[in-house]
Chains A and B, each alone.
Chain A
């Protein structure tokens, strides 16, 4: 079974631009979560989608948004990029039917904001 895939793997943008990251979960998984990983803050939860609905949201500004499609693929969008948005963005999928389902992580998208 294929793992979680994220595209693109690397991205360079300038301040003020917007960016869209994509995540394809493991087949059969209905939950997709997004995390931001930085050296200073570690892994921080952005949001979780389950069956096309946002089920949970972390403490990030409204510039960060996401959505999930009927095939469970998910996208994350960041508008008006800031230098501090430079990070590794990780996507994780899980079956989604139980509390604390095991999450399976993708390799991440490395975003650099200049």
Chain B
């Protein structure tokens, strides 16, 4: 079955620290991968999208993700966390439909 797996349902980082949110995809998922962010009481907003053009994908708000085929990973990073980054983050893949991970809640500690 096609799927993406997010490791860690909750991640806490200090303000200014590196953010690393992990996502692994099943090898049967074609190379369309996404990261979305969801703020409370809002829908999902696209952070970035991988479509095999480049392994390092830069997104909005300083986020980026690196596609590593050998590790079947697509981890999301940001060099320096900001309080406004506190939200739920979803990794997603596309086969013949979109598949979402279960989400990682990011807490930023002042």
Contact = CB atoms under 8 A, between A and B. Distances in A.
Interface of A: 4, 33, 35, 42-45, 48, 56, 58, 90, 92, 99-100, 102-108
Given A48-B97, A56-B97, A103 B51 contact: no
Nearest first, the 5 A-B pairs at minimum CB distance are A105-B43, A100-B32, A43-B100, A100-B94, A42-B102
A106 B100 CA distance: 16
Given A43-B90, A107-B42, 10 more contacts: A43-B44, A45-B99, A56-B97, A90-B44, A92-B43, A99-B94, A104-B46, A105-B43, A105-B44, A106-B43
A100 B51 contact: yes
Interface of B: 30, 32, 36, 41-46, 49, 51, 90, 94, 96-103
Given A99-B32, A102-B49, A90 B43 contact: yes
Contacts of A45: 97-99
A44 B94 CA distance: 13
B86 to A, nearest CB: 18
A92 B101 CA distance: 17
A44 B99 CA distance: 8
A33 B102 CA distance: 18
A92 B98 CA distance: 11
A103 B43 CA distance: 11
A107 B101 contact: no
Contact of A33 (B41, B45, B51, B98): B98
Contacts of A90: 43-44
A69 to B, nearest CB: 21
A102 B46 contact: yes
A50 B90 CA distance: 24
Contacts of B42: 107-108
